Amino acid sequence: MKKIAVFTSGGDAPGMNSAIRAVVRTGIHYGFEVIGIMRGYQGMMAGEYKKMELRIVSNLLKHGGTILKTSRSKEFMTDAGKQKAADFLHSQEIDGIVAIGGNGTLTGLLEFRKFYKGKIIALPGTIDNDLYGTDNTIGFHTAVQTALDVIDKIKDTAASHERVFIVEVMGAHSGFVAVHVGICGGAEEILIPEVNTSLLSTVTHLISGWRKGKTSSLIVVAEGCAEGGAYQVLEKTKQLDLSVEIGSDGLDCRAVVIGHIQRGGTPVYFDRLLASKLGLFAVEKLIEGADNVMVGEIDNKCVLTPIEDAVYKKKAVDPFLLKAAEILSI
C-alpha cells in the first residue's frame, strides 16, 4: 500500500476538517502519499483531486465545514457512476480510501465495494449521531452545543414574556440531539422519533408544571418525531381544547426551528479530539489491512465495525437519559 485517498461526502459536520488533517498527517507520517478528492463521490467520478501536503492541513482544527467540499450525488447512485468513480481510483493507483460521512455516505460504500478493488474504511462524520458502532459521531457534540446556545438565548425571552417555546432540533430518524439538548437546556418535554408521546399528556404535564410555579417552559422536538416538527406541534396544541385547564387566555406558545446552523461553526474540543483519534486510527488500521469497516469509539476505545452493521444496526437512546429528563424537569 502506497497511496491513499480521503474525501468527505453528504451533509457537512463540524470536525470533518480535523479528521482530514488527522488522515493526511498520519498517512504522511507512515510514508504514504495522500490525495484529497473534492466534492465527495461527485468529484471522484469527475477525477477532481489534489495532492495533500503537511502544510495544506495547517490551522484546520478550528474551521467548520470541509476544505475538500462535499455534495450529494445522484449519478453515483447508478452503476455507471460507481464504475466511473472506481476507474478514477484505479487509474490513480489508490490502494485505499478513507470516506468521511454519515448514513448515506456509508450506504454508498456498501455498493461501491463491488466496483473498487482497494481497501475501504469509513469515519462517522454526521451531526445526527445515528450510526451504530460508535458512541459519538464527529460533529454531534458541536451540533448539541450549538442548539443549546440557541436555547439558552430563547429561554431569556421565554422567561421575560412568560411563554412556552417549542424548539425543533435536527434528527430525522433519531432523538440523540433532542434528548441531550433537552436535558441540558432544562426542557419540560422532549419529543423524539423513538418514543410515542401523546400531545395531550405532554400539555397536561406542562400545565401541571405551571400550577407548581413554573412561569415559562421549553419543549424540544426532533424534526422527525411522529407529531411533526415545531410548527405542527404548535398547531396541534392549539387545537386541543384546553380552556377548562388554563382559562381563556391560555399559554402563550411560540415555535422555533434551529435548522442549518447546527451543521456549521467552529468544532468544540470533543469533536476535534474524536476526529483526531479516529483519523489516526483509521489510517493505522488501513495499513494493517482493514477493509469494509467503519472506525468508531466505544467506551473510550477506538474500534472497528463492519460498515454494514454501522448502517443497518440500530443505536438506541439510553433509557437512563429519558428517566433523567423526566425527573429533573419537575
Select the residue interacting with a copy of itself from 45, 268, 287, 307 (CB under 8 A).
268
Select the residue interacting with a copy of itself from 5, 6, 14, 81 (CB under 8 A).
14
Give the separation between CA 220 and CA 183, rounded to whole angstroms. Answer: 9
Q: Give the sign of the dihedral formed by CA 97, CA 25, CA 103, CA 304.
A: positive
What stretch of H or E contains 100? strand 96-101
Query: Which span sits near a copy of itself by CB under 8 A: 43-51, 117-125, 271-279, 309-317?
Result: 271-279
Give the x/- contact pattern for a copy of itself in 298-317, rule: CB under 8 A: -xx-x---------------
Residue of 12, 95, 128, 130 marked catalytic: 128
| CB closer to a copy of itself, 162 vs 235 | 162
Q: Does 71 contact a copy of itself by CB under 8 A?
A: yes
Burial class of residue 28 (count of CB atoms within 10 Å of its CB; 0-12, 13-18, 19+): middle
* 156 part of the active site: no
Give the x/- contact pattern for a copy of itself in 280-299, rule: CB under 8 A: x------------------x
How do strand 301-306 and strand 293-298 relate by DSSP bridges?
antiparallel
Q: Does 12 contact a copy of itself by CB under 8 A?
A: yes
Crossing angle of helices 269-288 and 140-161, in 10° steps, is: 160
| CB closer to a copy of itself, 125 vs 224 | 125
Q: Does 25 contact a copy of itself by CB under 8 A?
A: yes
What stretch of H or E contains 28? helix 16-29
Between the alpha carbon of residue 310 and those of residues 193, 267, 288, the distances in Å are 19, 23, 21
* HSE-CB of 163 using CA atoms within 13 angstroms: 16
Query: Which span sits near a copy of itself by CB under 8 A: 76-84, 95-103, 144-152, 288-296?
Result: 144-152
How far is Cα of residue 276 from the mean position of the Cα atoms in its chain?
17
168-197 residues in contact with a copy of itself (CB under 8 A) are 180-181, 183-186
Q: Does 145 contact a copy of itself by CB under 8 A?
A: yes
CB of 117 to a copy of itself, least distance (A): 28
Hey, what's the torsion of the CAs at 71, 143, 265, 51, to 10 degrees? -40
Select the residue interacting with a copy of itself from 2, 50, 51, 153 (CB under 8 A).
153
Q: What residues are annotated to the active site? A: 128
